[in-house]
Amino acid sequence: MIDSAQKSERLRINEIFHSLQGEADAVGYPTVFVRLTGCPLRCQYCDTEYAFHAGDWLGLDSIIDKVRSYGAEHVCVTGGEPLAQPNCLKLLERLCDAGLQVSLETSGALDIGAVDRRVSARGRRQDPGSNEAARNRLENFALRRGATN
């Protein structure tokens, strides 16, 4: 049985993998991608529908150990919608504390105000073709940091 302390330090992870970053200021850099499970949006053209439901619960220490095992300096937390899991904020902070260069890819529909200031936060704007444009949080545009400002 999992006690409440253990539950508060875990996330549902769809996948963790190593690849080259294809976007933003870290384009071309070896990057570890941490894809969290779940998303409250249902964009018409979503390319990660497989991340809506599937995934395993992992503790923050296990996630960080797996990320470090790849030896990359860059890590990108993505989804689905990573901020749909409240412990995402703890993960971002812990990854930064571990000395990694951290970026966050988010839909732009959830508040990024509480994201650690060391994280390059990239909120996308949902266009009308997504069928989710009404969920854009316009306040996030002033809060974005990193190469997308």
Question: pTM of the prediction?
Answer: 0.78
- pLDDT tens-digit profile of 85-109? 989 999 999 999 999 999 998 877 6
**Residue 3 in this model has a pLDDT that exceeds 70:** no
Residues 6+ apart with CB under 8 A from 137: 108, 109, 110, 111, 112, 123
What percent of the chain has pLDDT above 70?
Answer: 65
- pLDDT tens-digit profile of 64-74? 999 999 999 99
Tokens standing for residue 40: 């409250």
- pLDDT tens-digit profile of 104-144? 988 776 778 888 989 987 655 555 455 554 545 445 454 55
Tokens standing for residue 138: 């316009």
Q: Residue 65: which of 100, 21, 19, 106 has the closest Cα?
A: 100
Least confident of 41-45, 80-84, 98-102: 41-45
Residues 6+ apart with CB under 8 A from 82: 36, 88, 104, 105, 106
Tokens standing for residue 18: 């190593």
